[in-house]
């Protein structure tokens, strides 16, 4: 898929050597406050990002910067404990490289999680939202620049970026668990500042249901290289101006504790279905 000189090939070659040619089927990206899922990976092998050629360093609390390879519900997975954000000063290539490396290692499906703020009164902290679409308000796109046709097309339609079949499987899984799961549109912003009350009102008018500082470039990069993607937001707080609360990252991490058990239960049951 890639020539041996590309950053992705270099990263993949190193990871194959480190993991004895482990072949993951599903890639997972863990959002803020969601790292406890890694403790449930069986036969785990860990590789810090700092050891991987062309990977970035994580600088955000709650994002440790470690890759975990192993099995969840019998499914071989590659799990990112820590993601990159544009607000850290990372480039589009920094953010796309892990996604494309997953593809090269054999990943077919990407499961993305994030912590997000609610734009709807009905989505209270601790709720889970299945992302059906997004609004890219980050002012940038990971595909800007020279395009490698070996990775994906120059011009990319975004219909189906949040894979309809996987979304239905996730909804069916939640129903089986009697776990409330609503679909909605995710608004991706640049950060690192939280949104103003006026911006929250604007995003509501535009049709947004939740807001966060990640996920959108990952989904674009994944769709570009042919990965099937499904994404779930864990609501950690209400948007600015919707309550009297002052938003902080520490508050986001605390809010994540409200829904982490539900999200882990959903992920386990979803993966079990992939292996059935």
Is 213 annotated in the active site? yes
Would residue 133 count as lying in a domain? yes
SS3 for 224? helix
Spot the catalytic one: 59, 249, 268, 269.
249
Is 32 annotated in the active site? yes
Would residue 1 count as lying in a domain? no
Would residue 250 count as lying in a domain? yes
Would residue 81 count as lying in a domain? yes
Q: What CATH code is carried by the domain that includes residue 180?
A: 3.40.50.1580
Is 96 annotated in the active site? no
Alpha-carbon distance of 221 to 80, in angstroms, equals 15
Give yes or no for a contact between 24 and 107, defined as CB atoms under 8 angstroms apart: yes
Would residue 59 count as lying in a domain? yes
Tens-digit pLDDT string for the chain (276 aa): 445 558 899 999 999 999 999 999 999 999 867 778 999 999 999 999 999 999 988 765 555 789 999 999 999 999 999 899 999 999 999 999 999 999 999 999 999 999 999 999 999 999 999 999 999 999 999 999 999 999 999 999 999 999 999 999 999 999 999 999 999 999 999 999 999 999 999 999 999 999 999 999 999 999 999 999 999 999 999 999 999 888 787 777 776 777 889 999 999 999 999 876
In the Cβ-directed half-sphere of 54, how many Cα atoms lie within 13 Å? 21
Is 256 annotated in the active site? no
Prediction pTM value: 0.94
Spot the catalytic one: 63, 68, 223, 224.
63
Would residue 2 count as lying in a domain? no
Q: What pLDDT is recorded for position 1?
A: 45
- What residues make up the domain containing 97? 7-274
Spot the catalytic one: 96, 213, 231, 238.
213
Spot the catalytic one: 87, 93, 108, 245.
87
Would residue 258 count as lying in a domain? yes
Alpha-carbon distance of 144 to 141, in angstroms, equals 6
Is 68 annotated in the active site? no
Spot the catalytic one: 11, 115, 174, 234.
115
Among residues 59, 61, 41, the alpha carbon closest in space to that of 49 is found at 59
Is 49 annotated in the active site? no
Would residue 116 count as lying in a domain? yes
Is 118 annotated in the active site? no
Is 237 annotated in the active site? yes
Total of domains in the chain: 1
């Amino acid at each position: 898929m890639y020539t041996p000189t590309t950053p992705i090939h270099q990263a993949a070659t190193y990871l194959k050597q480190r993991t004895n040619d482990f072949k993951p089927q599903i890639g997972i990206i863990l959002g803020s406050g969601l790292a406890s899922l890694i403790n449930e990976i069986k036969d785990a092998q860990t590789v810090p990002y700092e050891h991987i050629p062309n990977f970035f360093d994580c600088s955000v609390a709650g994002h440790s910067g470690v890759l975990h390879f192993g099995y969840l519900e019998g499914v071989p997975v590659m799990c990112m404990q820590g993601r990159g954000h544009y607000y850290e000063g990372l480039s589009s290539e920094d953010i796309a490289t892990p996604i494309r490396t997953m593809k090269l290692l054999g990943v077919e499906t990407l499961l993305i999680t994030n912590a997000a703020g609610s734009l709807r009164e009905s989505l209270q902290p601790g709720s889970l939202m299945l992302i059906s679409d997004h609004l890219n308000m980050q002012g940038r796109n990971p595909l800007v620049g020279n395009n490698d046709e070996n990775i994906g097309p120059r011009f990319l339609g975004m219909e189906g970026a949040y894979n309809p079949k996987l979304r239905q499987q996730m909804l069916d899984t939640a129903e089986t668990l009697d776990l409330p799961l609503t679909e909605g549109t995710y608004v991706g912003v640049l950060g690192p500042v939280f949104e103003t009350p006026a911006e929250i009102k604007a995003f509501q008018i535009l049709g947004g249901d939740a807001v966060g500082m990640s996920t959108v470039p990952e989904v674009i990069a994944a769709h570009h290289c042919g990965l099937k993607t499904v994404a779930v937001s864990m609501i950690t707080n209400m948007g600015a101006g919707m309550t009297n609360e002052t938003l902080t990252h520490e508050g986001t991490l605390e809010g994540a504790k409200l829904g982490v058990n539900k999200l882990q239960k959903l992920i386990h049951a979803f993966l079990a279905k992939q292996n059935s």
